[in-house]
Amino acid sequence: MTELGVALAITALFAAVTAPNFLRAHLRSQASQTLKILREIESTKEMYAADNGMPYGVTPSCADLLPYARAGSPAAAQLATNRVHDVLGRPIAINAIGQLPQLNSVSWDQFAGVVGEPPQVFWGDFGHY
C-alpha cells in the first residue's frame, strides 16, 4: 500500500511540473497559427489589390478576398464563412489595402506571455486593435 502511495505522489508531482509547460507550448502553437492566418490574409489582400488595381484605403470584403486565398488554408475556410478570426475565436480586422490585418487586443494580451518579450518581435508589423 505504501508503494502505491509513493507511486501516486511521484505521478502527481510529475504532472504538476509538466502541465504548465504543456499549456504554454499549446498557447504558443495557437499564436503561431494565428500569425499564419494574419500573413495569409495580408497575402490575399495584396493579390486582390494588384489584380484589381485597388488603391490604398479600400477595404476588401471576405468575398473579394476568397478567390485569392490558397485552397484548403485556414484563411480560405474563414473567408468562405465571411468571418475572419484567430484560433481563439476572436475577430481579426482585415483593414484597408495598405494596412496590415490586426489581431484583437484581448488575444494579443492572452498570447503576450508565450510569444516572448516584447510581443512585437513575434508579431512583427501585425498590430492589434
pLDDT in tens, 60-116: 999 999 999 999 999 999 999 999 999 999 999 999 999 999 999 999 999 988 888
User: How many other β-carbons are positioned within 10 Å of the β-carbon of residue 75?
Assistant: 25
- Report how far residue 125's alpha carbon sits from residue 104's, in angstroms, rounded to the nearest whole number: 14
Nearest-CA neighbor of 42 among 120, 102, 129?
102
Q: Among 19-23, 56-60, 92-96, which is the least confidently predicted range? A: 19-23
Q: Is the per-residue pLDDT at 7 higher than 90?
A: no
Q: What is the pTM of this model?
A: 0.83
Rg (CA), the chain: 20
Enumerate residues 6+ apart whose C-beta is below 8 A from 48. Answer: 54, 60, 64, 65, 68, 97
Q: What phi and psi values does residue 99 have, to the nearest 5 degrees?
A: -125, 130
- Reduce the DSSP state of residue 56 to 3 states and report it: coil
